Amino acid sequence: MTQVAEIQEQTNSRDHYPTRISTEPSMIARSEPAVWGTPSDGPFDAAALERHEARGFTIVENLLGADEVAVYREELVRLSHDAQMRESGRVITERGTDEVRSVFDVHRCSAMVAELVRDGRILDRARQLLGSDVYIHQSRINSMPGFKGTGFYWHSDFETWHAEDGLPIPRTVSCSITLTENFPFNGSLMVMPGSHKSFVQCVGATPENNYASSLVSQEVGVPRREDVTDMAAEYGIEQFTGAAGTALWFDSNVMHGSGNNITPFPRSNIFLVFNSVENTLVEPFAAARPRPDYIASRDFTPLG
């Protein structure tokens, strides 16, 4: 058995983070690091890695230039109106409207995004943070239209990916790249720095085909208000704002959310989720069957 296979077998031997329970939930102290690599493995220096380990996220300004941002905005429009994308279920709209909320699987449906995930400015950082080769667990372009964009309630991505996709441990990092300016008032992302160190159990069984509604409005797999209150008191809340082309790298277990956008200023971003090849999906830990491959990829081929 190879070293990678041994790690995989040990990781998947039990459920380290039980959730969607029927009893009183609790917070589980995380045992794995957020940073698996070293300064010699990539662009982040030692200070940046130490800060990421402590806070669970890192902001990189000007990752994309203005010309690149403009091109990806056009790609969002193209994908949003593509009839085949809509028929496949990859385009998610706001409830009761035709306004696009998310377009999934963009790294396999767009040559431009496929090139972006392999760009050294992005791929090298993903490999460094996870300390291994990586593949794309999920990719999407999010859109929050002016006046009509609805937010995302507080949640940990890892809770959903663990429960419904079979992601064993939080050895996964997301890169959110803004395609529009993120203001404090147009539904920009809020994060709790340091919250990635605690896994919050959630109450309630996973409904059949939960993804069909949760991608519009998540109701299962979210923490109780009292748990959000306790975490906010312990960790505080910061907001991710910045010019178009700014990237937010954040650990999969960071507690985050966003409010509605009632301003005229739309907000959109490219959202790329990298998972370690040593942390590939197994059967869901709290769902009857895995979500579709376009939401949680089971192609574990390393990016190169």
Average pLDDT over residues 241-268: 96
Residue 11 confidence class, pLDDT cut points 50, 70, 90: very low
User: What pLDDT is attached to residue 95?
Assistant: 77
Asked, for residue 292, whether it belongs to a domain, the answer is no
- The counts of H helices and E strands in the chain are 10, 13
CB under 8 Å to 175, separation ≥6 — which residues?
A: 122, 125, 126, 247, 248, 249, 271, 272, 273, 274
Question: Domain of 75: which CATH number?
Answer: 2.60.120.620
Number of domains in the chain: 1
Average pLDDT over residues 193-213: 90
**Quick one: 84 exposed, middle or buried, by C-beta within 10 A (0-12, 13-18, 19+)?**
exposed
pLDDT at 17 over 80: yes
Asked, for residue 211, whether it belongs to a domain, the answer is yes
pLDDT (tens digit per residue) in 139-159: 999 988 899 888 889 999 999
Range of the domain at 202: 19-267
Asked, for residue 214, whether it belongs to a domain, the answer is yes
Asked, for residue 127, whether it belongs to a domain, the answer is yes
Asked, for residue 286, whether it belongs to a domain, the answer is no
Which has the minimum average pLDDT: 24-28, 92-96, 128-132, 253-257?
Answer: 92-96
User: What pLDDT is attached to residue 220?
Assistant: 80
User: What pLDDT is attached to residue 159?
Assistant: 97
Asked, for residue 273, whether it belongs to a domain, the answer is no
- Whether this prediction's pTM lies above 0.75 is answered by yes
User: What pLDDT is attached to residue 216?
Assistant: 60
Residue 2 confidence class, pLDDT cut points 50, 70, 90: very low
CA angle 95-20-144, nearest 5°?
Answer: 25
pLDDT at 10 over 50: no
Is 166 strand, coil or helix? coil
Share of the chain above pLDDT 90, in %: 81
Average pLDDT over residues 85-104: 86
User: What pLDDT is attached to residue 162?
Assistant: 98
Asked, for residue 298, whether it belongs to a domain, the answer is no
Asked, for residue 180, whether it belongs to a domain, the answer is yes
User: What pLDDT is attached to residue 8?
Assistant: 41
pLDDT at 272 over 90: yes
Average pLDDT over residues 40-52: 98
Give the Cα separation of 47 and 41 in Å (integer): 14
User: What pLDDT is attached to residue 6?
Assistant: 46
Average pLDDT over residues 8-17: 65
pLDDT at 97 over 80: no
Give the Cα separation of 88 and 166 in Å (integer): 23
User: What pLDDT is attached to residue 25?
Assistant: 94
CA angle 167-169-172, nearest 5°?
Answer: 80
Residues paired with 271 in a beta bridge: 140, 176
